[in-house]
Amino acid sequence: MMNTEDINEKMEVMSSDGEQIGTVDRVDGDTLKLAKNDPQSGGRHHWVPQSWVESVEDHVMLNKSASEVRSQWHDSAPASIDR
């Protein structure tokens, strides 16, 4: 898992196959909450586990393909997150 201090709001989130998945809204517990205003989001927030983060530079790179991310992301905050 990457250091959450390296992840900032408004960073692009990219899949392992190079597709933009969304934009970081905020780090939320051990997940990344993605912004709901991205075209990829369908107007909803989505959460992805930080364990999917491969690297962080000028964007967040995930270790899953776009299709894997979309089939496995959460569209509501996981119960373990303190909202």
Decide: 27 and 82 in contact? Cβ < 8 Å: no
Residue 77 lies in a domain: no
Q: What is the pTM of this model?
A: 0.87
Whether residue 30 lies inside any domain: the answer is yes
Distance from C-alpha of 1 to C-alpha of 50, rounded to nearest angstrom: 6
Q: pLDDT tens-digit profile of 71-80?
A: 999 888 776 5
Alpha-carbon gap, residue 78 to 55, rounded angstroms: 23
Tens-digit pLDDT profile for residues 24-58? 999 988 999 999 998 888 899 999 999 999 999 99
Task: Provide the number of structural domains found in the chain.
Answer: 1
d(CA 82, CA 58): 28
Asked, for residue 82, whether it belongs to a domain, the answer is: no
- pLDDT at residue 1 greater than cutoff 60: no
Please check whether residue 25 is in contact with residue 35, taking contact to mean a CB–CB distance below 8 angstroms: yes
Confidence of residue 4 (pLDDT cuts 50, 70, 90): low
Contact 15, 66 (CB under 8 A): yes
Residue 52 lies in domain: 4-72
Q: Give the CATH number of the domain where residue 64 resides.
A: 2.30.30.240
